[in-house]
């Protein structure tokens, strides 16, 4: 097919990268020596669910519990239960992760969880880590606190930062309501029901299950029933039955500052991703964030990265949480949706142009936007391969590979630290969102995972010769070797309204040079003249058939094959 890059071209790319960035060993030594000084925008992040990555110690598969799967949570044949991955497995996989070009590891919550919950006949396990009972201890299914310390130390020795996924909005589902004995209790508003809206209680067997102890007091929760996801209930409702913490309570505020401050003090971690951040009142974040940043500075961590999950595709809604909540950054769902629509061919490149034009609305403006983690897909919405297939169900393997490659190129050359969702580099697609997108990296026993459609070649687990592993690693090295791709402004040179060309110049104000990235999301080759800086006369190609010289001052002519991209560099004075 015309859009598939030849093996020779990819081999040439590898040579160009070696010349540009030095040997992997040299890069590792430099990276390890100064990793604390890297600003957040310099990172390439790998997001992983420990349970689904690698089983380093089969002795902890059942979390030290006895009985059937409803007691232990372990059933490697069911995608809704624990499969055996753990922190020792992550340590064993660090070379593989680093080989992908990753510089920061984002780990789904590692804290002790309620192993199984849910109504009878519909139970599932906390393999994902979001049903926390003990905020001070690693879940026994994943290992021990010492295992986590060993992971952080091993990652830091490689220059890889460690971000922990944290939850504050809710805990595991422990509280019950006397007026509503079931698992789905309707939200009761303050207008219609004074406190207490429900009579909350905890069964005797779970009265002291939460740590710290103040979390066992039902008075520390809102107890108003399930959220309707809008209005008052968006802040004070139970998240699908999970106990909604009263985060306006001074005891809760100080309690979580102490809990999460201790993880910084004790382990020297490098950042927090905040789950369900938009469901917590702004006043909590206004107290919590400065406290965490101060703890990090005191620990000698100058670039502690905090990014909240605000599930919205509207830049204005995302930005509001940087102004009102004063969150330093949020996950960039707006960029995700724009890339998805462009790559699926449902919208033109002007979709991304509109998103980037809104960078000024964030608190701190474009400088803050440079630090918003970007991503193609995740454990909730599904993988980029599946999102493409949803829009183009009859797509062939070669075109699926081309579109997926283009999605990663957009991610890794764009503004904001890119997040690679574990398994994407092995070509995972999944069958949908949530559990359907949380496949095992090791040999799976789940039928729905075993028959997964794969993108590109991948002959075995953790295959470093897999097609997408190599392409993502190459893009990560390009990013690492070009400061403009990590820290530069994004100046749109062309953005078609239909599938076609997107051209972006990455520039650092006051510095000479320009990196031009051009993408063709259409199905035919496109030749075009593009405006560039007047001083950008001589060009070298990093990827694709770049021009060697400007056509005339301030203009270059490019030809981009369908579903392909080019990265071109000019070092001349501007």
- The angle at the Cα of 469, spanning 464 to 475, to the nearest 5 degrees, equals 130
> Do 85 and 108 meet the contact criterion of CB atoms below 8 Å apart?
no
Which residues make Cβ contacts (< 8 Å) with residue 427, sequence separation at least 6?
A: 385, 404, 454, 455, 456, 457, 458, 466, 467, 468
Query: Which pair of tokens denotes residue 286?
Result: 């206004």
Q: Is the dihedral of CA 470, 474, 480, 483 positive or negative?
A: negative
Active-site positions?
Answer: 275, 309
69 CA to centre of own chain: 30
- For residue 455, which of 385, 390, 524 has the smallest C-alpha distance? 385
Following DSSP, what letter does each residue of 6-67 receive, concatenated?
PHHHHHHHHHHHHHHH--HHHHHHHHHHTGGG--GGG--EEEE-GGGT--S-GGGTTTT--S
Please tell me the distance from the alpha carbon of residue 50 to that of residue 38, in angstroms, as a whole number: 25
Please tell me the distance from the alpha carbon of residue 366 to that of residue 20, in angstroms, as a whole number: 28
What three-state secondary structure class fits 498?
A: coil
- For residue 555, which of 566, 570, 545 has the smallest C-alpha distance? 570
Phi and psi at residue 22, in whole multiples of 5°? 85, -175
- The angle at the Cα of 473, spanning 467 to 478, to the nearest 5 degrees, equals 130
Other Cβ atoms within 10 Å of 287 Cβ, number: 16
Instruction: Tell me which H or E stretch contains 329.
Output: strand 329-330
Phi and psi at residue 507, in whole multiples of 5°? -135, 145
Encode burial over 439-448: b for 16+ CB neighbours within 10 A, e otherwise.
bbbbebebee
Instruction: Tell me which H or E stretch contains 360.
Output: none
> Do 93 and 464 meet the contact criterion of CB atoms below 8 Å apart?
no
Q: How far is CA 211 from CA 126, 183, 274, in A?
A: 17, 23, 19
Please give the torsion angle defined by the CA atoms of residues 6, 8, 14 and 15, in that order, rounded to the nearest 10 degrees: -150
> Do 86 and 55 meet the contact criterion of CB atoms below 8 Å apart?
yes
Query: Which pair of tokens denotes residue 9?
Result: 């071209």
């Amino acid at each position: 097919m015309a859009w598939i890059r030849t093996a020779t071209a990819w081999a040439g790319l590898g040579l160009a990268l070696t010349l540009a960035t030095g040997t992997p060993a040299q890069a590792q030594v430099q990276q390890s020596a100064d990793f604390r000084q890297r600003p957040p925008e310099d990172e390439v992040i790998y997001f992983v669910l420990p349970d689904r990555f690698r089983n380093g110690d089969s002795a902890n598969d059942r979390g030290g519990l006895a009985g059937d799967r409803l007691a232990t949570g372990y059933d490697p044949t069911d995608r809704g239960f624990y499969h055996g991955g753990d922190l020792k497995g992550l340590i064993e996989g660090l070379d593989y992760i680093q080989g992908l070009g990753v510089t920061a590891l984002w780990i789904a919550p590692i804290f002790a969880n309620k192993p199984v919950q849910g109504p009878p006949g519909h139970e599932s396990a906390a393999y994902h880590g979001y049903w926390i009972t003990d905020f001070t201890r690693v879940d026994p299914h994943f290992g021990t606190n010492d295992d986590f310390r060993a992971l952080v130390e091993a990652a830091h020795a490689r220059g890889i930062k460690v971000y922990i996924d944290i939850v504050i909005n809710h805990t595991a589902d422990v509280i019950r309501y006397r007026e509503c004995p079931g698992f789905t209790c309707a939200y009761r508003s303050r207008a219609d029901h004074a406190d207490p809206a429900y009579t909350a209680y905890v069964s005797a067997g779970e009265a002291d299950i939460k740590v710290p102890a103040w979390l066992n007091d039902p008075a520390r929760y809102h107890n108003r029933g399930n959220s309707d996801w809008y209005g008052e209930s968006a802040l004070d409702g139970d998240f699908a039955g999970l106990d909604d913490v009263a985060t306006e309570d001074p005891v809760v505020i100080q309690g979580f500052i102490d809990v999460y401050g201790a993880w910084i003090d004790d382990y020297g971690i490098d950042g927090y991703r905040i789950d369900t951040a938009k469901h917590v009142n702004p006043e909590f974040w206004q107290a919590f964030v400065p406290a965490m940043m101060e703890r990090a500075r005191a620990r000698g961590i100058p670039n502690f990265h905090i990014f909240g999950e605000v599930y919205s595709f509207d830049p204005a809604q995302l930005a509001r949480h940087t102004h009102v909540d004063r969150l330093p950054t949020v996950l960039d769902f707006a960029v995700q949706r724009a890339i998805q629509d462009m790559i699926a061919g449902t919208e033109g490149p002007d979709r991304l142009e509109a998103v980037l034009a809104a960078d000024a609305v964030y608190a701190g403006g474009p400088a803050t936007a440079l630090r918003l983690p970007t991503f193609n897909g995740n454990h909730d919405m599904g993988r980029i391969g599946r999102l493409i297939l949803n829009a183009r169900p009859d797509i062939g393997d070669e075109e699926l590979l081309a579109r997926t490659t283009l999605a990663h190129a957009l991610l890794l050359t764009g503004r904001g630290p890119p997040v690679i969702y574990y398994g994407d580099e092995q070509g995972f697609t999944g069958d949908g969102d949530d559990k359907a997108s949380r496949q095992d990296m090791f040999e799976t026993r789940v039928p729905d995972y075993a028959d997964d459609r794969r993108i590109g070649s991948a002959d075995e687990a953790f295959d470093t010769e897999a097609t997408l592993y190599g392409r993502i690693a190459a893009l990560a090295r390009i990013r690492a070797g070009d400061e403009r791709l990590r820290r530069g402004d994004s100046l749109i040179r062309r953005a078609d309204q239909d599938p076609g060309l997107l051209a972006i110049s990455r520039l650092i104000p006051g510095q000479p040079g320009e990196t031009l990235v051009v993408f063709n999301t259409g199905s035919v080759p496109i030749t075009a003249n593009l405006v560039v800086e007047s001083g950008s006369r001589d060009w070298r190609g990093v990827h694709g058939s770049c021009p060697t010289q400007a056509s005339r001052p301030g203009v270059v002519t490019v030809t981009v094959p369908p579903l392909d991209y080019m990265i071109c560099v000019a070092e001349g004075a501007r």
